[in-house]
Amino acid sequence: MDSSAEVNIRQDPFIEGMLSRMSKDVSGAFSDDQLLALKMALSGRKWGTHAVDIRRSIGFWRWRYYLVLVAGKERRAITDRQQRAVRFTLAVFITIFFSFSTLMGLGIAYIIKSSLGIDIIPSYSLGLWDWFRDYISQ
């Protein structure tokens, strides 16, 4: 490359930032072709914007900690293992949801049955209606 190309590549903001974090002897050892290849390889990863992007720094006595929370639409390819994990997690959540909903439905049906005075098993009670009546009357 000619000297004008050398000046241009070394004045690029990305290259300047990268070289400024290196010692002078190492940063001076790169050829223009190497710098151009590094720029193409490293600058290809663009972070884009996220729907949620929270960045905070917290001081705790003499130390500082940082917290980064980013969230958005997944654009990466998902592996088979990750797909299985997602399906398993979804199945667990659906099972928990339906179990909880069923128990709540049975509990509400039992309270309604008891409030109407219907005894399916004579002289047996779970005590749910008594607890609910006492709770409401407080």
Burial class (CB in 10 A: 0-12, 13-18, 19+), 94: exposed
Q: Is 131 helix (H, G, I), strand (E, B) or coil?
A: helix
Q: What are phi and psi of 34, to 5 degrees?
A: -65, -40
The fraction of the chain above a pLDDT of 90, given in percent, is 25
**What span, in angstroms and rounded, lies between the C-alpha atoms of 125 and 114?**
9
pLDDT band, residue 138 (cuts 50/70/90): confident
pTM of the model: 0.44
**Rounded average pLDDT over 101-124:** 88
Beta bridge partners of 56: 67
| The pLDDT of residue 81 is above 70 | yes
> What is the chain's length?
138
Distance between terminal CA atoms of the chain? 87
**Contact present, 19 and 10 (Cβ < 8 Å):** yes
Instruction: Provide the mean pLDDT of the chain.
Output: 84
Cβ-Cβ contacts under 8 Å for 10 (sequence gap 6 or more):
16, 19, 32, 35
Question: By mean pLDDT, which of 2-16, 23-37, 55-69 is the weakest?
Answer: 2-16
Residue that is written with structure tokens 């639409």 in the block: 73
Question: What local confidence, expressed as pLDDT, does residue 46 receive?
Answer: 59
